[in-house]
Amino acid sequence: MASGHYILQASIALLCYLSWAAHAAQFEVVVGGLQFKPPTVVAAPGDTVLFVFKQGNHSATQSSFENPCVAALGGFDSGFMPVAEGTNVSFPASPLNVTTTEPVWVYCRQANHCQQGMVFAINPGNQFSAFQAAARSSSPSSSTKTVPSSHTSTATSSAVPRPAATSSDHTVVVGGPNRVFFSPSNITAQIGDTVTFQFQQKNHTVTQSTFAQPCVSLTESSTSGQIGFDSSFMPVADNATNFPTYTIQINDTSPLWAFCRQTNHCGAGMVFSVNAPELGPTTFEAFTARAKELNGTKKSSNAVSSASERTTITYRRNGRAGLSATVAAIILVLQFQAAAF
Ligand SMILES: *[C@@H]1O[C@H](CO)[C@@H](O)[C@H](O)[C@H]1NC(C)=O
Ligand SMILES: *[C@@H]1O[C@H](CO)[C@@H](O)[C@H](O)[C@H]1NC(C)=O
Ligand SMILES: *[C@@H]1O[C@H](CO)[C@@H](O)[C@H](O)[C@H]1NC(C)=O
Ligand SMILES: *[C@@H]1O[C@H](CO)[C@@H](O)[C@H](O)[C@H]1NC(C)=O
Ligand SMILES: *[C@@H]1O[C@H](CO)[C@@H](O)[C@H](O)[C@H]1NC(C)=O
Ligand SMILES: *[C@@H]1O[C@H](CO)[C@@H](O)[C@H](O)[C@H]1NC(C)=O
Ligand SMILES: *[C@@H]1O[C@H](CO)[C@@H](O)[C@H](O)[C@H]1NC(C)=O
Ligand SMILES: *[C@@H]1O[C@H](CO)[C@@H](O)[C@H](O)[C@H]1NC(C)=O
């Protein structure tokens, strides 16, 4: 009897996963030029909005409809993300997890950017122009006084790029017998340093990607024509003693993300970073987890349990979530029944 319930529960969890997987999405929002692009997105719980910061020194900070240019207490805040003028690759990014279907109001808390209409919203309905108009007419003092209470992202508040007095080279071994990883897999480097990848056994690459899409080359994912570095495939025979190398130069302190393009390697966690933040949502650990989640081979079996968890959370947060809420409710009931047996 109880096991029958478990089977039913498992299939409903799978159903939930399928419906969740079909909807979970990632929205990339470019922050720069005194605007958020696109200025609004329609997103569901479980989706992610990734703010990508371009030239200037901006933030993505949650506010409220009533006070568009004042940080909401305990709200999301990327922190300031200064991006130097010459930067054309690896822009810093900060992800925001969407947990509600209610509107989420966001602004840039730099100087008077908000008063110039630099605002953004998730699920604003038809209220966005009213929100932006309110931002334009809000008093400048209100934005500078308020310091947000929570910094959910400490990612790359890098100082103005300045070459280090002495530059050094960092050696990273790629692959080797039974080694499907970069060693070390994450490093800290100064401006002007070089990183030399030494390719050992098998057939690997080191290819620049982004935090948002760990296993897709920057060249491929960029919507603005950025060209990321790519060593190309470096096949190395089992008995080799001479190893080919590929060197990159570090031009700024913003994080660099990379992966191996060989089939299944990235999804197995063969990723690499330079200057990944030690704290916040964009650590090297989070990058690795993201690679495995998006390109791993075992994702369906793991995802079922976490998806049913997520759907339950969706139900708690939003009573109007329709079918998935109903299904989540059934799961809750079944969990009670299973517990009773
Ligand atoms: C966002 O969601 C991911 C995966 O669901 C989680 O690992 C991460 O900690 C969350 N980030 C924040 C800031 O809540
Ligand atoms: C970015 O802006 C903040 C707030 O105005 C400021 O404190 C910080 O020094 C700026 N960073 C850079 C590198 O200009
Ligand atoms: C990872 O998955 C994405 C989306 O399915 C795909 O476009 C990309 O080619 C995959 N990357 C690798 C290295 O297989
Ligand atoms: C990026 O900038 C560097 C130097 O500032 C330049 O040499 C390179 O061509 C630029 N790359 C792209 C894709 O614009
Ligand atoms: C290395 O891997 C690539 C991609 O899988 C493949 O096209 C190439 O033939 C391989 N080279 C050798 C020598 O095995
Ligand atoms: C490696 O093995 C191949 C074939 O097994 C042989 O032709 C080659 O000479 C060997 N190379 C070295 C460096 O021992
Ligand atoms: C650093 O700048 C040099 C010269 O412009 C460029 O060739 C190189 O690709 C840049 N490094 C990275 C990691 O983008
Ligand atoms: C980052 O590199 C350091 C030094 O190699 C290593 O100790 C640490 O485990 C790495 N972090 C992760 C998350 O793999």
Supply the pLDDT for residue 263: 97
Tokens 């897709």 correspond to 216
**How far apart are the C-alpha atoms of 230 and 119, rounded to whole Å?**
36
Output the residue whose Cα is nearest ligand 5's atom 5. Answer: 262
CB-defined site of ligand 7, < 6 Å:
89, 229, 248-249, 251, 256
Lowest mean pLDDT among 11-25, 144-158, 230-244: 144-158
Element holding 289 (H helix, E strand): helix 284-295
Among 57, 109, 151, name the best residue to mutate to test ligand 2's pocket (greatest count of ligand atoms within 8 A of Cβ).
57
Which candidate, 29, 36, 28, places its Cα nearest to that of 114? 36
**How far apart are the C-alpha atoms of 52 and 50, rounded to whole Å?**
6
Q: Is the CB of 41 under 6 A from ligand 3?
A: no
| Higher per-residue pLDDT: 313 or 259 | 259
Ligand 2 centroid to residue 340 C-alpha, Å:
58
Output the residue whose Cα is nearest ligand 1's atom 2. Answer: 97
Residue 57 CA, closest ligand 2 atom number? 1
Ligand 6 centroid to residue 201 C-alpha, Å:
13
Output the residue whose Cα is nearest ligand 3's atom 2. Answer: 295
Supply the pLDDT for residue 148: 41
Supply the pLDDT for residue 333: 36
| Higher per-residue pLDDT: 9 or 268 | 268
Average pLDDT on 56-82 reads: 93
Supply the pLDDT for residue 23: 59
144: pLDDT strictly greater than 90: no
Q: Which ligand is nearest to the CA of 213?
A: 3
| Higher per-residue pLDDT: 322 or 11 | 11
- Report yes or no: 45 and 100 within 8 Å, Cβ to Cβ: yes
Q: Is the CB of 150 under 6 A from ligand 1?
A: no
173: pLDDT strictly greater than 50: yes
**How far apart are the C-alpha atoms of 290 and 86, rounded to whole Å?**
29
Which candidate, 41, 52, 186, places its Cα nearest to that of 122? 41
3: pLDDT strictly greater than 80: no
**How far apart are the C-alpha atoms of 266 and 272, rounded to whole Å?**
10
183: pLDDT strictly greater than 80: yes
**How far apart are the C-alpha atoms of 119 and 34, rounded to whole Å?**
9
**How far apart are the C-alpha atoms of 253 and 274, rounded to whole Å?**
9
| Higher per-residue pLDDT: 149 or 247 | 247
DSSP states of 75-112: --B---EEE-TT--S---EEEEE---SS-EEEE--STT
Supply the pLDDT for residue 73: 86
Average pLDDT, the chain: 79
Tokens standing for residue 119? 């605002």
**How far apart are the C-alpha atoms of 210 and 253, rounded to whole Å?**
15
Among 174, 199, 203, name the best residue to mutate to test ligand 5's pocket (greatest count of ligand atoms within 8 A of Cβ).
203
Percentage of the chain modeled with pLDDT above 90: 61
Q: Is the CB of 268 under 6 A from ligand 3?
A: no
Classify strands 186-187 and 256-259 as parallel, antiparallel or unpaired.
unpaired
Among 88, 90, 248, name the best residue to mutate to test ligand 7's pocket (greatest count of ligand atoms within 8 A of Cβ).
248
58: pLDDT strictly greater than 90: yes
Supply the pLDDT for residue 90: 83
Ligand 6 centroid to residue 202 C-alpha, Å:
14
164: pLDDT strictly greater than 90: no
Average pLDDT on 291-318 reads: 53
Ligand 1 centroid to residue 134 C-alpha, Å:
31
Supply the pLDDT for residue 168: 87
Kindly tell me the burial class for residue 217, based on how many C-beta atoms sit within 10 Å of its own C-beta (0-12, 13-18, 19 or more): buried
Which candidate, 268, 266, 262, places its Cα nearest to that of 236? 262
Ligand 2 centroid to residue 57 C-alpha, Å:
6
Supply the pLDDT for residue 77: 94
Which candidate, 261, 266, 284, places its Cα nearest to that of 207? 261
Output the residue whose Cα is nearest ligand 4's atom 11. Answer: 88
pTM of the model: 0.48
User: Any idea how long the chain is?
Assistant: 341
Supply the pLDDT for residue 138: 87
Average pLDDT on 60-73 reads: 94
Q: Is the CB of 263 under 6 A from ligand 5?
A: yes
Q: Is the CB of 213 under 6 A from ligand 3?
A: no
Q: Is the CB of 97 under 6 A from ligand 1?
A: yes
